[in-house]
Amino acid sequence: MDLSTFLGLVFGIGALLVSVVIEGGSVTSLISIPAFVLVFGGTIGATAMGFTVDELKNVVTLLRIAFTNEKYDAARLINSLVLFAEKARREGLLALEEDVSGIQDKFLQKGMQLVIDGTDAELVRSIMETELTFMQERHHRGAGIFEAAGGFAPTMGIIGTVMGLVHVLGNLSDTATLGPAIATAFIATLYGVGSANLFFLPIAGKLKTHNAHQIFFYEVTLEGILSVQAGDNPRIVEEKLKAFLAPKQRPEPKKQEDR
Amino acid sequence: MDLSTFLGLVFGIGALLVSVVIEGGSVTSLISIPAFVLVFGGTIGATAMGFTVDELKNVVTLLRIAFTNEKYDAARLINSLVLFAEKARREGLLALEEDVSGIQDKFLQKGMQLVIDGTDAELVRSIMETELTFMQERHHRGAGIFEAAGGFAPTMGIIGTVMGLVHVLGNLSDTATLGPAIATAFIATLYGVGSANLFFLPIAGKLKTHNAHQIFFYEVTLEGILSVQAGDNPRIVEEKLKAFLAPKQRPEPKKQEDR
Amino acid sequence: MDLSTFLGLVFGIGALLVSVVIEGGSVTSLISIPAFVLVFGGTIGATAMGFTVDELKNVVTLLRIAFTNEKYDAARLINSLVLFAEKARREGLLALEEDVSGIQDKFLQKGMQLVIDGTDAELVRSIMETELTFMQERHHRGAGIFEAAGGFAPTMGIIGTVMGLVHVLGNLSDTATLGPAIATAFIATLYGVGSANLFFLPIAGKLKTHNAHQIFFYEVTLEGILSVQAGDNPRIVEEKLKAFLAPKQRPEPKKQEDR
Amino acid sequence: MDLSTFLGLVFGIGALLVSVVIEGGSVTSLISIPAFVLVFGGTIGATAMGFTVDELKNVVTLLRIAFTNEKYDAARLINSLVLFAEKARREGLLALEEDVSGIQDKFLQKGMQLVIDGTDAELVRSIMETELTFMQERHHRGAGIFEAAGGFAPTMGIIGTVMGLVHVLGNLSDTATLGPAIATAFIATLYGVGSANLFFLPIAGKLKTHNAHQIFFYEVTLEGILSVQAGDNPRIVEEKLKAFLAPKQRPEPKKQEDR
Amino acid sequence: MDLSTFLGLVFGIGALLVSVVIEGGSVTSLISIPAFVLVFGGTIGATAMGFTVDELKNVVTLLRIAFTNEKYDAARLINSLVLFAEKARREGLLALEEDVSGIQDKFLQKGMQLVIDGTDAELVRSIMETELTFMQERHHRGAGIFEAAGGFAPTMGIIGTVMGLVHVLGNLSDTATLGPAIATAFIATLYGVGSANLFFLPIAGKLKTHNAHQIFFYEVTLEGILSVQAGDNPRIVEEKLKAFLAPKQRPEPKKQEDR
């Protein structure tokens, strides 16, 4: 569970509801079926048009990713890579075969397997960078679905409000219901702006954040794999990889002295 | 038929109409000839000014592309390229002559023909990349027409509404028709914002999506062609090309073992 | 005459006027001298501040360019360059001297002259690319003047409307003229948004379109010049240059067989 | 204390309050609990959703940075590096060992230590540039939190105002309280737009400014370290590094003549 | 005096005032002390927060630059550089010593001095390009202050208007002063939008324009310096440098024939 996604959503919507209650309003007065149909129907329709069916099928997976907290422990990764570098220097790259079969991360495993198979260093870099580039491209397109929805929702809200006003103004005879009718018209704006800013755009932001962390983790991984393959001194491997991290994230210096 | 373009459009407009009906309004009250003339005439005029006649002639073709679902089967492409690589290593590049004449995709065929003709590898890359670069440029200019229309339509709607208000406010004597007259003025905003967000911008988005998929497919194609020309080991060719794909799109590993 | 600039402008403004007439309004009611002075005076002033006098002097030339249709016939250019390549291979680069003196396009002529003068290939590329880069820079700054005006005009319209409302609201005693006075205030918004979207921004768009076509044409030209200088096989020259074009723009294959 | 952050904040909020008092309004009339709950609760929720818990934990540190004035004295840095260059040429790189242990700036110290340890120049550049790149990335993500809040706050304000209007318009019976109720509704817009423009966005701007100054300082540092390692003439080191500075920031020429 | 900055400002503000007078309004009715305090106090505060005290101290200098017309005569620069190239080829680089001491432009002088001192060509390019890069960076940050102010001013205007409306709506009892009070509230919007579009943003635009011209001039200068150092044929130097210019800005061809 990604706490900030979940709590942020609860907190945001909660703030909205609490505010209504404090003000003495009733939450049910914010419910409008026509506004709901228009804003979410229109947003889904407009968003779907811009993507392919295959891309749209990922929406559930993408939501799951936004609400899941995948930890990328770079300090632990660096320690593993340094150990690989030491073993490779002592016993040769082939000695890493059994370690590699136990690696959980697919990206690290594939890269190390290529190295053990004796693939040319340039080719390893090219294959793994291609993988990273297109992984990022796919993730950005995924976040793009929610960004598109976050762009369309407020305009659907405006369409709903304008349509409501047109309806109201075209039937001014009954002035008693004028106020409530205009109030209802504004609910579409509320749905559009609210869903965009409390759901679609923050989810797109979280997807990009998760992507940034993952790509960053894999950049460290790739640099480490290539350093192991090049037979770099383990201390150099560590120095190179620690440069990616914020000072406070770096592996403890004690571990360095142990070696 | 590109299902998401078609269904998205139907769903979006349907949501709008259903919402009107639920609210007890009549769809005919949303019809205004002056608003229609102004918003669509103005949008067509402003959009046309920014492009050349030749570019504008492509609009129908572009719409057809947005509503057509061209499948790019990268897994199958990779299998073909791996087979080419095997044959080329066994029997030489010239042996691919007859395979090439049967290729349907123009881009792949042209690239393989250049390879078989013994064109220098650098030149093959340069020619095919030039082709890709300017294909992308042309596609972006095409999507740009719909983006421009999607930018102008809402402002034309605002112009229509302001013009309507000016008309109404200049003749306040007849207060009975004030409401309906203002309602009519707002219909221009509805047309502008609606057409931009339920048609122009999503179509531009779909054109860019189709372009992204096609360019991606051709990037895999080009990498494969160059790998075949270089006489790469078929396993390396497959490894290189699979790196472009998402894990679940990759060709089944069984096929690998068959070889 | 660039038809799409001219017809687009006529069509856009025509749609606006037709819409007024259909609605039963009078076109003269859209005329307001104070709004005109404020919106266009303010837009001209704000735009002028951001550019130099020398740049502003080009405005008339830029307008002429936006309304003029310069044809760039890439297929014919490619045929010429292929002929140059053939002649250069048969009779040497110096044999092109007389052909060059007859070339109308300054860019092609200058490039070919440098080649005939025996200028180093790297230097030819560097000089011609510098020329292209700064040509593009100058064109973009030119389009930037109209973009700036298109950005300032709507805000001047808002200023005019707000000033009008301030004037109206400060003198509420005479309620009879309230409506018409507010109507007049909105005319400034109309002028600002209308001029931006039916003139300034589309003109900027057309200038960028013309620039894109010209730069594209010269990129093909430069590639061709360098290919001729390198003594490439005419078939290769043609293949290289055709890669820039959309399939349907390419020179007819018959001509190829003639050779 | 970063004077411009502190005084700017005081000045901005002061201007707002002074303006209220001059106009004869009371500051307490601008207080609304529901608006406060909605705008800040919603902004915090929406912002939190887009980032990870670890990133959000930095918010206090980031605020401290925005209000702290860290001086980067480039002229003094250049003088130190020139002295290092002189000493390195006279006595060798190892002679710098004791100077390095006294350096306060971690970045300069780490770089010089790598140089003294005899690390390859390419590797020093690569490690230190990696450190700079990802330092900048982290700082930008930090500023991004405040930018996101600055983007969400005004829309939360609009949501609050619309919700307030819906509440008011749904209960038009009591026309006496209509005005004050609408006034209260607008306070949410005030909170949203005000907090974004007098706090969130300026803080994000200051964080980026501080980052720009720090990265700039470290670019000079890195260039100097590499120049010392390369054994450049001290005069060249100075010339190279002074090129980064504005003329008036450069170390006094007198010092040059002393050498 | 930069005529377009000065006349543009006068023209823009003049148009605004003339428009008020034509409409029969009084200019004094546009004066509001609370709006002035809020909009300009708030804008200054918010802008100041994002920059450092040192950067803010440059504001007066930046204004002076925006109103000063510095001429960059590229044709004359090219003629000087061609003369340097001729002299250098005839008499050696050292013969330029006395010419250099008479050069007024600091950038050209520094570059030529480095050349005469026998500095390595790569180092000359690196030092001078560093100087250009960071000069541009500093200028952009300077223009950024006015851009930030131009972004904050309209939102401060909105804050002022909303605060005014809150004040008005909270005291609806006195309906007689309702109109004028709302009018006063709108004056804040007028100040915010007006100052942004008739002062802050155009000044930022002019600063960027001046920067673009200066950087362009120095790019020609640097290319020329390096060409002189390389001992290029004066005709080549001229050809290289003229490629930067628009055809009509190029030095007269007669001068070429004189040589």
Q: What is the pLDDT of residues B115-130, one digit of tens each?
A: 999 999 999 999 999 9
Q: Do E8 and C164 touch (CB under 8 A)?
A: no
Q: Which of C1, C2, C4 to mutate to test the interface with B (most CBs of B within 10 A)?
A: C4
Is pLDDT at B201 greater than 50 in this prediction?
A: yes
Rounded distance between C-alpha atoms, residue C103 and residue C83, angstroms: 13
Determine the residue of chain A that is closest to D136 in CA distance.
A246
Q: How many helices (H) and strands (E) does chain A have?
A: 12, 0
- At A76, which amino acid appears? R
Q: Which of C30, C182, C245 sits opposite B169 (nearest CB)?
A: C182
- The CA-to-CA distance between both ends of chain D, in Å, stands at 37
Is pLDDT at D151 greater than 80 in this prediction?
A: yes
The pair of structure tokens assigned to D13 is: 């909020």
pLDDT in tens, C91-143: 999 999 989 988 999 999 999 999 999 999 999 999 999 999 999 999 999 99
- Give C183-219 as a DSSP string: HHHHHHHHHHHHHIIIIIHHHHHHHHHHHHHHHHHHH
Whole-number pLDDT of residue A250: 82
Rounded distance between C-alpha atoms, residue A202 and residue A6, angstroms: 11
Eight-class DSSP state of E51: S
Q: Which of A37, A126, A169 sits opposite B15 (nearest CB)?
A: A37
Percent of chain C residues topping a pLDDT of 70: 95
Neighbours of E248 (CB within 10 A): 5
Q: Which of B23, B155, B189, B217 to mutate to test the interface with A (most CBs of A within 10 A)?
A: B23
Q: Which residues in chain B are closer than 8 Å to A42, comparing Cβ atoms?
A: 12, 15-16, 197-198
Q: Which residues in chain D are closer than 8 Å to E33, comparing Cβ atoms?
A: 22
Q: Do C123 and E236 touch (CB under 8 A)?
A: yes
Whole-number pLDDT of residue C114: 94
Whole-number pLDDT of residue E175: 66
Q: Do C216 and B134 touch (CB under 8 A)?
A: yes
Determine the distance in angstroms separating the CA of D249 from the nearest CA of chain A, rounded to an integer: 30
Picking from C154, A163, C13, the residue whose alpha carbon sits closest to that of residue B43 is: C13
Rounded distance between C-alpha atoms, residue D6 and residue E95, angstroms: 57
Is pLDDT at D47 greater than 60 in this prediction?
A: yes
Q: What is the ipTM of this complex?
A: 0.90
Q: How many CB pairs under 8 A join D and E?
A: 167
| Residue A238 or B247, more confident | A238
Determine the residue of chain A that is closest to B240 in CA distance.
A127
Q: Do D7 and E48 touch (CB under 8 A)?
A: yes
Distances (CA, A) of B70 to B65, B194, C26, C258, D83: 8, 28, 51, 36, 66
Q: Which of D180, D189, D240 sits opposite E162 (nearest CB)?
A: D189
- At C231, which amino acid appears? G
Distances (CA, A) of A230 to A87, A120, A124, A227, B81: 13, 10, 12, 5, 31
Q: Which of B48, B128, B156 sits opposite C8 (nearest CB)?
A: B48
The pair of structure tokens assigned to B68 is: 């057509």
pLDDT in tens, B204-244: 999 999 999 999 999 999 999 999 999 999 999 999 999 99
Per-residue pLDDT band at C16 (split at 50, 70, 90): very high
Rounded distance between C-alpha atoms, residue E2 and residue C48, angstroms: 11
Eight-class DSSP state of C247: G
Whole-number pLDDT of residue A222: 96
**pLDDT mean over B193-199:** 97
Q: Which of C4, C20, C69 sits opposite B56 (nearest CB)?
A: C4
Rounded distance between C-alpha atoms, residue C100 and residue C116, angstroms: 9
Coil vs helix vs strand at A158: helix
Whole-number pLDDT of residue A254: 45
**pLDDT mean over D142-156:** 97
Is pLDDT at B254 greater than 60 in this prediction?
A: no
Cβ–Cβ < 8 Å for D196, D150: yes
pLDDT in tens, B168-195: 888 776 667 788 888 889 999 999 999 9
Whole-number pLDDT of residue B15: 96
Q: What burial letters (b/e) apply to E55-66, b meaning 16+ CB within 10 Å?
A: bbebbeebeebb
Determine the distance in angstroms separating the CA of B71 from the nearest CA of chain A, rounded to an integer: 10
List CB contacts of C197: < 8 A, sequence separation 6 or more.
Answer: B42, B46, B152, B155, B156, B159, C150
Whole-number pLDDT of residue B24: 83
Percent of chain E residues topping a pLDDT of 90: 81
Q: Which of E3, E10, E203 sits opposite C53 (nearest CB)?
A: E3
Q: Which residues in chain B are closer than 8 Å to C239, comparing Cβ atoms?
A: 114, 127
Q: Do C148 and E205 touch (CB under 8 A)?
A: yes
Whole-number pLDDT of residue D170: 81
Each as own residue / partner, the long-range contacts of residues D120-128 (CB below 8 Å, 24 or more positions apart, any chain) are D121/D226, D121/D229, D121/D230, D123/A236, D123/A240, D124/D225, D124/D226, D124/D229, D125/D222, D125/D226, D126/A240, D127/A239, D127/A240, D127/A243, D128/A243, D128/D222, D128/D225
Characterise B231 by phi-psi region: left (phi > 0), alpha (psi -120 to 50), beta (else): left
- At D54, which amino acid appears? D
Per-residue pLDDT band at D253 (split at 50, 70, 90): low
Q: Do D160 and A15 touch (CB under 8 A)?
A: no
Q: Do chains B and C touch (3 or more CB pairs under 8 A)?
A: yes
Determine the residue of chain D that is closest to A23 in CA distance.
D34
Q: Which of E23, E198, E243 sits opposite C131 (nearest CB)?
A: E243
Whole-number pLDDT of residue C178: 80
Q: Which residues in chain A are closer than 8 Å to D40, comparing Cβ atoms?
A: 15
The pair of structure tokens assigned to D56 is: 């959000």
Q: Do B19 and A40 touch (CB under 8 A)?
A: no
Q: How many helices (H) and strands (E) does chain B have?
A: 12, 0
Rounded distance between C-alpha atoms, residue A39 and residue E176, angstroms: 41
Determine the distance in angstroms separating the CA of E75 from the nearest CA of chain C, rounded to an integer: 15
- At A163, which amino acid appears? M
Is pLDDT at D174 greater than 80 in this prediction?
A: no
If you search the block for the tokens 């808002």, which residue do you land on? C158
Picking from C14, C39, C77, the residue whose alpha carbon sits closest to that of residue C244 is: C77
Q: Do D47 and A8 touch (CB under 8 A)?
A: yes
- Orientation of helix C234-242 relative to helix C201-229, angle to 10°: 160
Q: Do D128 and A243 touch (CB under 8 A)?
A: yes
**Domain boundaries along the sequence of chain D:** 1-31, 32-259
The pair of structure tokens assigned to C85 is: 């390549």
Determine the distance in angstroms separating the CA of B45 from the nearest CA of chain C, rounded to an integer: 4
- At D232, which amino acid appears? D
Q: Which of D14, D29, D209 sits opposite E41 (nearest CB)?
A: D14
**Dmax of chain C from CA atoms?**
92
Determine the residue of chain A that is closest to D52 in CA distance.
A4
Q: How many CB pairs under 8 A join A and B?
A: 166
Is pLDDT at D257 greater than 80 in this prediction?
A: no
Cβ–Cβ < 8 Å for A237, A81: yes
Per-residue pLDDT band at E70 (split at 50, 70, 90): confident
Determine the residue of chain E that is closest to D243 in CA distance.
E131
Is pLDDT at D255 greater than 60 in this prediction?
A: no
Whole-number pLDDT of residue C252: 64
Picking from D121, D126, D116, D109, the residue whose alpha carbon sits closest to that of residue A240 is: D126
pLDDT in tens, E106-135: 999 999 999 999 999 999 999 999 999 999
Picking from E98, E105, E97, the residue whose alpha carbon sits closest to that of residue D247 is: E105
- At D254, which amino acid appears? K
Whole-number pLDDT of residue C254: 45
Q: Do D209 and E128 touch (CB under 8 A)?
A: no
Per-residue pLDDT band at B153 (split at 50, 70, 90): very high
Whole-number pLDDT of residue B180: 83
Whole-number pLDDT of residue E255: 44
The per-residue pLDDT string of chain A (259 residues; one tens digit each, 9 = 90 and over) reads 899 999 999 999 999 999 999 988 888 889 999 999 999 999 999 999 999 999 999 999 999 999 998 888 999 999 999 999 999 999 999 999 989 988 999 999 999 999 999 999 999 999 999 999 999 999 999 999 999 999 999 999 999 999 999 988 887 766 677 888 888 899 999 999 999 999 999 999 999 999 999 999 999 999 999 999 999 999 999 999 999 998 888 876 544 444 3
Is pLDDT at C255 greater than 70 in this prediction?
A: no
Per-residue pLDDT band at B36 (split at 50, 70, 90): very high
Whole-number pLDDT of residue C259: 38
Determine the distance in angstroms separating the CA of C92 from the nearest CA of chain B, rounded to an integer: 23
Rounded distance between C-alpha atoms, residue C224 and residue B130, angstroms: 13
Per-residue pLDDT band at E137 (split at 50, 70, 90): very high
Q: Which residues in chain C are closer than 8 Å to B138, comparing Cβ atoms?
A: 246
Q: Do B166 and C245 touch (CB under 8 A)?
A: no
Q: Which of A186, A196, A198 sits opposite D165 (nearest CB)?
A: A186
How long a stretch of residues is chain A? Answer: 259
- The pTM score is 0.92
Determine the distance in angstroms separating the CA of A37 from the nearest CA of chain B, rounded to an integer: 6
Determine the distance in angstroms separating the CA of D161 from the nearest CA of chain E, rounded to an integer: 11
Determine the distance in angstroms separating the CA of B10 from the nearest CA of chain A, rounded to an integer: 7
pLDDT in tens, E5-51: 999 999 999 999 999 999 888 888 899 999 999 999 999 999 999 99
Is pLDDT at B257 greater than 60 in this prediction?
A: no
Picking from E71, E82, E113, the residue whose alpha carbon sits closest to that of residue E224 is: E82
Whole-number pLDDT of residue C174: 67
Q: What burial letters (b/e) apply to D57-75, b meaning 16+ CB within 10 Å?
A: ebbeebeebbbeeeeeebe
CA dihedral B180, B185, B189, B191 (to 10 degrees): 80
pLDDT in tens, E222-239: 999 999 999 999 999 999
Picking from D32, D58, E59, C23, the residue whose alpha carbon sits closest to that of residue B164 is: C23
Eight-class DSSP state of C105: -
Per-residue pLDDT band at C168 (split at 50, 70, 90): confident
